[in-house]
Structure 1
């Protein structure tokens, strides 16, 4: 089956650099609060890439402002395990608490 997904580099959005959203700016007479730990949904971008080594797809949620990968599925550890010759399905799961 041919790959129909175009490669896309995960780069920060240049239109967002250096800007603060209006909601994040403190109003007159109010103290500035710390930035929220979770980025606004409008700042996130979903990137789907095909892992050439395994042929599976990697889903990344990327912060458009910083270019930081917020979430990746499957995780890097799982992708590295798949490349090892001694990998067996289920080897990632811990059976003891």
Structure 2
């Protein structure tokens, strides 16, 4: 009887992709910094509000939304929305 088995050359195995190790972020202690600041919300009339982030230690306003410049525009009786830049020549 004849041998009907084909010969097979060795096939290299595919290289499995390496998965990078997960880098753990360093733990942060945000509570120390977060307790230093205070959020205040003030009514500005006409269903508008001013949001301020204050430093509890110094009393300084860290951030205000909307900015003071915008509030000045809103209180200016000559200001009309969309008229910040004069495009007429």
Q: What TM-score results when the alignment is normalised by the length of structure 1?
A: 0.48
Structure 2: gaps spanning 5 or more residues = 1-31
Offset, 1:40: 2.1
Distance 1:60 1:92 in 2: 24
Whole-angstrom distance in 1 between the partners of 2:54 and 2:35: 11
CA RMSD of superposed structures (Å) = 2.5
Contact 1:60/1:71, CA 8 A, preserved across alignment:
yes
What does the per-residue CA deviation read over 1:26-78, in whole Å, with 9 as the maximum and x for residues that have no partner? xxxxxxxxxxxxx92221110000014x5410000000111100000011111
* Structure 1 runs, 4 residues or longer, greater than 6 Å off: none
Structure 1 unaligned residues grouped into runs of 5+: 1-38
Q: Which residue of 1 aligns with 2:79?
A: 87
State the structure with more CA Rg: 2
In the other structure, the counterpart of 1:45 is 38
Using CA pairs below 8 Å that are at least 6 residues apart, which structure has the higher relative contact order? 1
Question: Kindly tell me: are residues 43 and 92 of structure 1, through their superposed partners in 2, closer, same or farther at Cα, counting changes over 3 Å?
Answer: farther
